[in-house]
Structure 1
Amino acid sequence: MSKVKYYYDSETLSYKKIERRKGRKLGIILLSILSSFLAGFILLVIYLNIPQIETPQEKALKRELQNMKLQYGLLNKKMDQIQEVLANVEDRDNNIYRLYFEANPIPEEQRKAGFGGINRYKDLEGFDNSRLIIQTSKRMDILTKQLVVQSKSLDEIAELAKEKESLLAAIPAIQPVKNEDLKRIASGYGWRTDPFTKVKKFHYGMDFSAPRGTPVYATGDGRVARADNRSTGYGNHIRIDHGYGYTSLYGHLYKYNVRRGQKVKRGDVIGFVGSTGRSEGPHLHYEIFKDDERINPINFYYGNLSPEEFDQILEKAQQENQSLD
């Protein structure tokens, strides 16, 4: 195909050859380059000012990011609820449970102490949502620590409760002889007339007058420390070690129903009323020791007496009469 081009001249009514000019050809080239740059610039401006076209993968990542923000928001709301419940438990722990068991409250600064030292959240910095993630992580760590502190506190309370339950079961709390088996409360704790010397002498226990062979009951849980007649004046007698510094003594027995080292429960029959040893007649001599010191047994009958019955016993025990031993 010929590269020579012609044009029609209407004046001469003939075709004439088109002559190419070198300068014009260069201009056309430059104009083309300029047009290309201009078109590219316009396209760039348009691209930067229209919404970015997202690929399916980018759309999926964007949805995942939005869902993550939503989940973090829900997590923070749940932590608010947990914090409220935990605060209530902490309040009851300090002001009810620990108070009841005579344990010191846990200081607020110990419960809600933060985390000092190194920046444990450094790896979470530098991202678009770093602030949200770091704040949530901090709350989660503090909440976890509070739960650990509270859990240990409740473990301690549980142990105190067990100990308290054992203590309440161990403390002597009933009469060693049933009311219906008593003839009378012969003598109480304090200065009384000695039945043999007829002089004032301090009586360290209570005397329960009852027929020979009347059952004698352990007044609290414990272990039989002694069951013999090798103690001056008591005759056949039993001593029960209740723990927590408490010991009970049952004197002048007719015979034993337990042996040394045996564990007993409150209400178990341990022996029978007699008149052995330094005794004027069948009765039970009953003493209570606290940390090796004798104390008044009258304060340890709350387990099986009504207020009216206790008042009657108290009145009789305070009479300065003659003891039976």
Structure 2
Amino acid sequence: MAKVKYYYDSENLAYRKISTKKRTKFGVFLLFLIASALFGFLAFVLLLNTPFFETPRDRFQAREIENLKLNYAILNKKMDEIDAVADALENRDNNLYRVYFNKAEIPDSIRKAGFSNKNRYKKLEGYNNSQLVKNTTIRMDQLAKELAIQSQSLDEILKLASAKEDLLAAIPAIQPVQNENLKRMASGFGYRSDPFTKIKKMHAGMDFTANTGTPIYATGDGVVTRADNTASGYGNHVVIKHGFGYETLYGHMSKYNCRVGQRVKRGDIIGYVGSTGRSQGPHCHYEVHKDGKAVNPLNFYYGNISAVEYVAIAKLANQENQSLD
């Protein structure tokens, strides 16, 4: 039962009942409703931002975040494994491949250098898990950069290996006349007595005596640049350009078995022993040139003779006898 309130009317000396107007009642009720709604909204917002109250969407997002953290952890573990493989490859690259091909190693200051752009990862900052995402991204970028540098290094090594293979094929590494076809080693590289003037002069090659028609072999891969008899003294002769500064000459042939511009391989028959030009008997005059300078062919016979045979040939070649041309 609602309380009835009274007030004292001093003029009439009597108590009178206090009555509330309907408009005032309505205003009070409306104010109460507004205050209640505002209080309820504030309470709802506070509940949403406390761990004591989770919506289905909040639970879903929490699971997604935990799943992302797990995926980042797995990704970092895989990067640890790749790092170990990359380190082993870099070690072999510096201490084996580049050493073999006489190339300077790539220092860690280059292999593991960071990025100069300080704002590169700015967009990843400001989130709850920013540090995890940022550190993982930095590791990924660093690893990608290391692999790119390693790839470039291996490309360089591959080119060097290919060039090394070409170099080994180009070096004049065998005798132009096989041992079983030789009569004797007539003359070696150095100052020898000229067979016509009897004066000592530089003999820029080696003379291999053999029967006329004995095959003469290309001593390395290359391209035939001459096959004629226009050079003084050599008679019918062939010149092969091998590349890498190497060039060989085969003189006094009875006939050719190649043509200018032809690419030949080591061991191909390029002509036959004869006694054309300035010669005193059937033989092959053989010269090796490196960077335009005549060098001793004896230093290159490692491709088809044994150590014992090399010693025997060296002994004969170093005798100061008379040359055949």
> Could you list the runs of 5+ residues in structure 1 that have no partner in the other structure?
6-18, 26-32
Match of 1:265 in 2: 265
Moved more, 309-318 or 273-282: 309-318
The reply on whether 1:204 has 2:204 as its aligned counterpart is yes
User: In 2, Cα distance between the equivalents of 1:201 and 1:122?
Assistant: 79
Match of 2:4 in 1: 21
Partner AA of 2:318 in structure 1: Q
User: In 1, Cα distance between the equivalents of 2:84 and 2:221?
Assistant: 42
Change over 3 Å in CA distance of 1:223–1:51 after alignment to 2:
closer
Tell me the SS of whatever aligns to 1:238.
strand
The alpha carbon displacement at 1:22 in A equals: 2.1
Partner AA of 1:155 in structure 2: D
User: In 2, Cα distance between the equivalents of 1:93 and 1:22?
Assistant: 101
User: In 2, Cα distance between the equivalents of 1:99 and 1:198?
Assistant: 51
Match of 1:11 in 2: none
| % same residue | 59
User: In 2, Cα distance between the equivalents of 1:178 and 1:22?
Assistant: 141
> Could you list the runs of 5+ residues in structure 2 that have no partner in the other structure?
7-17, 19-31
User: In 1, Cα distance between the equivalents of 2:3 and 2:235?
Assistant: 150
Tell me the SS of whatever aligns to 1:252.
strand
The alpha carbon displacement at 1:273 in A equals: 0.2
Equivalent runs, 1:202-241 vs 2, <5 Å: 202-241=202-241
Partner AA of 1:271 in structure 2: G
Match of 2:82 in 1: 82
Equivalent runs, 1:106-145 vs 2, <5 Å: 106-145=106-145
Tell me the SS of whatever aligns to 2:249.
strand
1:259-278: CA deviation from partner (whole Å, max 9, x where unpaired): 11111111100000000111
Partner AA of 1:152 in structure 2: Q
Moved more, 185-194 or 291-300: 185-194
The alpha carbon displacement at 1:20 in A equals: 4.3
Tell me the SS of whatever aligns to 2:260.
coil
Q: How many residues align?
A: 299
**Normalization by structure 1: what TM-score?**
0.85
User: In 2, Cα distance between the equivalents of 1:245 and 1:195?
Assistant: 31
Tell me the SS of whatever aligns to 2:149.
helix
Match of 1:16 in 2: none
The reply on whether 1:275 has 2:269 as its aligned counterpart is no
Match of 2:95 in 1: 95
Match of 2:53 in 1: 53
Change over 3 Å in CA distance of 1:131–1:51 after alignment to 2:
closer
Moved more, 109-118 or 203-212: 109-118
Partner AA of 1:265 in structure 2: K
1:222-252: CA deviation from partner (whole Å, max 9, x where unpaired): 1111001111111110000011111000000
Partner AA of 1:116 in structure 2: S
Match of 1:194 in 2: 194
User: In 1, Cα distance between the equivalents of 2:58 and 2:259?
Assistant: 86
User: In 2, Cα distance between the equivalents of 1:195 and 1:210?
Assistant: 18
The reply on whether 1:291 has 2:291 as its aligned counterpart is yes
User: In 1, Cα distance between the equivalents of 2:100 and 2:183?
Assistant: 40
User: In 2, Cα distance between the equivalents of 1:121 and 1:106?
Assistant: 27
Match of 2:13 in 1: none
